[in-house]
């Protein structure tokens, strides 16, 4: 690889993002071992990446301002907050499950299998409830973390996040508030490898009753 | 003799403690003569590049260190045996090719033996020297400061990519950008990081 080509193709960025083929990677390594500019660029990029991986790129903490509130204002707000907390808990509690969480509570998850394995299951959800999904990872193996994304049939993303990868053979358990689905219809859950090497789709139909 | 480097002009922003050396015949002769300063420069400069290369291919830090040491040993042995290199400027290419050979042999020996479980890799009980530890600590502080000085959006993107290791296509969808532009964003973050990292050196 020539220096101009390395610069023009953002080779350093592609290298640290893991986007190069094996042949490209070998060619770029051969180059930066002899090119001090690219070697320097790689070392800087690697320090940045290593620093982020070590958790040194923290989010800026929101500024906290201390302010005294008059008691007449505090009491109604505290009551409203308590009410909201209770209502929120009730809303997030798995639908159809009675009782409180003072004892064990069984969940009845719906199992999702990769799109290539059989028909699309229908999941019944109640407004304000929560759906428990047990996602069968099949043969897919995830290193440490995986990312997930839920899309409706128009392709709009309604929910996403990342989670620690379950141990091999174990399903991924996802608690999804019904509000994420919005309306009845076909949805797709996509699980992605943290390194972007693979993604698996799970199609299912949501019926909100 | 390292008098020729007394000007101490800095060759690398990322390695400010490293004086400038040309990989020429004189450099290689100093390596063959086991000049301590040249050996230190050689192992530091190529050590970082080798670590970078090996980390993506080997499972543990111990393997990386072993492969690096083996590479250094072979390079120095060959230089002494041949009393130099036909083209001294190609020292970097030579180090890289020796490293490729070491890796190839490691893969081959690995395929003939039963690999240990990941968690069986014994802890590395080699201790870095005090100076190296202090330098590593100082560098960590500089890296942290440089990262903290980045705009929140850039820090968030870097966290998604390298800490949370999110799927890049998903990141692109979320940011409504394509993969090319993702590289550009990383390039800009890197440029800003370098600026701040180098500024930390001047403090």
Q: List chain A residues with pLDDT less than 50.
A: 63-66, 80, 83-88, 95-99
Of A40, A194, A196, the CB nearest to B14: A40
Give pLDDT, residue B11: 39
Question: b or e along A70-97 (b: 16 or more beta carbons within 10 Å of the residue's beta carbon)?
Answer: eeeeeeeeeeeeeeeeeeeeeeebebee
- What is the predicted pLDDT for the residue at A59? 66
Residues of B in contact with A157 (CB under 8 A): 173-174
Q: Do the chains contact at A195 and B14, CB–CB below 8 Å?
A: no
Query: Which residues, in sequence order, are bridge partners of residue A160?
Result: A149
Note the pLDDT of residue A124: 85
> What is the pLDDT at residue B172?
93
B189 neighbourhood in chain A, CB within 8 Å: 48
Q: Residue A109: its pLDDT value, please?
A: 80
Of B144, B169, B179, nearest to A56 by CB-CB distance is: B144
Identify whether the C-beta of residue B31 lies closer than 8 Å to the C-beta of residue B76. Answer: yes
CA distances from residue A202 to A148, A188, B180, B201 in whole angstroms, order as listed: 11, 5, 28, 50
Structural tokens at position B175: 């940011």
Residue A58 with chain B: CB contacts under 8 Å: 148, 155
Q: What is the pLDDT of residue B74?
A: 94
Closest CB to B163 among A39, A57, A160: A57
DSSP chain B: --GGGTT--BS-SS-TTSBP---SHHHHHHHHTT-HHHHHHHHHHHHHHHHHHHHTT-SSHHHHHHHHHHHHHHHHHHHHHHTS-SSGGGHHHHHHHHHHHHHHHHHHHHHHSPPPPGGGS--------HHHHHHHHHHHHHHHHHHHTS-HHHHHHHIIIIIS---HHHHHHHHT--HHHHHHHHHHHHHHHHHHHHHHHH-
* Tens of each residue's pLDDT in chain B, 203 residues: 333 333 333 334 444 445 556 788 888 999 999 999 999 999 999 999 999 999 888 878 888 999 999 999 999 999 999 888 888 888 999 999 999 999 999 888 875 555 445 444 555 544 555 555 566 778 888 899 999 999 999 999 999 999 988 999 999 999 999 999 999 999 999 999 999 888 876 65
B197 touches chain A (CB under 8 A): yes
Q: How far is A147 from chain B, CA to nearest CA, in Å?
A: 6
Contacts of A47 in chain B (CB under 8 A): 14, 139, 143, 193, 197
Nearest CA distance, B6 vs chain A (angstrom): 20
Q: Please give, rounded to a whole number of angstroms, the shortest distance from the CA of A85 to a CA of chain B.
A: 29
Considering only alpha carbons, which residue of chain B is nearest residue A61?
A: B152
């Amino acid at each position: 690889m020539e220096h101009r080509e390395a610069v023009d193709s953002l080779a350093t960025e592609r290298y640290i993002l893991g986007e190069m083929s094996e042949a490209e990677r070998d060619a770029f390594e051969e180059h930066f071992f002899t090119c001090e500019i690219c070697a320097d660029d790689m070392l800087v990029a690697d320090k940045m990446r290593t620093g982020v991986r070590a958790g040194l790129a923290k989010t800026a903490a929101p500024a906290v301002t201390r302010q005294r509130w008059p008691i007449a204002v505090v009491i109604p707000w505290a009551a409203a907050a308590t009410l909201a907390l209770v209502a929120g808990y009730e809303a997030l509690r798995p639908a159809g499950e009675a009782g409180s969480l003072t004892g064990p509570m069984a969940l009845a998850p719906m199992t999702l299998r990769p799109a290539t394995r059989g028909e699309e299951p229908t999941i019944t959800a109640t407004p304000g409830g929560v759906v428990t999904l047990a996602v069968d990872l099949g043969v897919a193996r995830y290193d440490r973390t995986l990312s997930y994304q839920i899309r409706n049939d128009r392709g709009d993303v309604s929910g996403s996040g990342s989670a620690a990868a379950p141990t091999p053979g174990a399903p991924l358990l996802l608690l999804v508030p019904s509000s994420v689905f919005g309306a009845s219809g076909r949805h797709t859950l996509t699980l992605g490898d943290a390194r972007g090497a693979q993604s698996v789709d799970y199609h299912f139909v949501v019926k909100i009753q | 003799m390292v008098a020729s480097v007394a000007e101490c002009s800095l060759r690398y922003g990322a390695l400010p403690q490293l004086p400038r050396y040309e990989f020429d015949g004189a450099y290689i002769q100093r390596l063959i003569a086991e000049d301590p300063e040249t050996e230190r420069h050689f192992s530091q400069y190529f050590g970082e590049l080798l670590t970078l290369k090996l980390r993506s291919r080997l499972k543990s830090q111990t393997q990386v260190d072993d492969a690096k040491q083996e590479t250094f040993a072979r390079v120095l042995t060959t230089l002494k045996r041949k009393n130099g290199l036909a083209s001294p400027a190609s020292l970097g290419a030579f180090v890289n090719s020796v490293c490729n050979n070491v890796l190839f042999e490691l893969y081959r020996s690995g395929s003939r033996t039963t690999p240990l479980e990941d968690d069986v890799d014994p802890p590395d009980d080699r201790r870095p020297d005090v100076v190296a530890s202090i330098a590593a600590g100082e560098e960590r502080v500089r890296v942290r400061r440089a990262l903290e000085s980045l705009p929140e959006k850039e820090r968030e993107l870097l966290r998604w990519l390298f800490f949370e290791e999110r799927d890049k296509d998903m990141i692109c969808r979320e940011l409504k950008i394509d993969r090319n532009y993702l590289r550009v964003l990383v390039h800009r973050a890197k440029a800003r990081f370098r600026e701040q990292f180098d500024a930390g050196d001047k403090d």
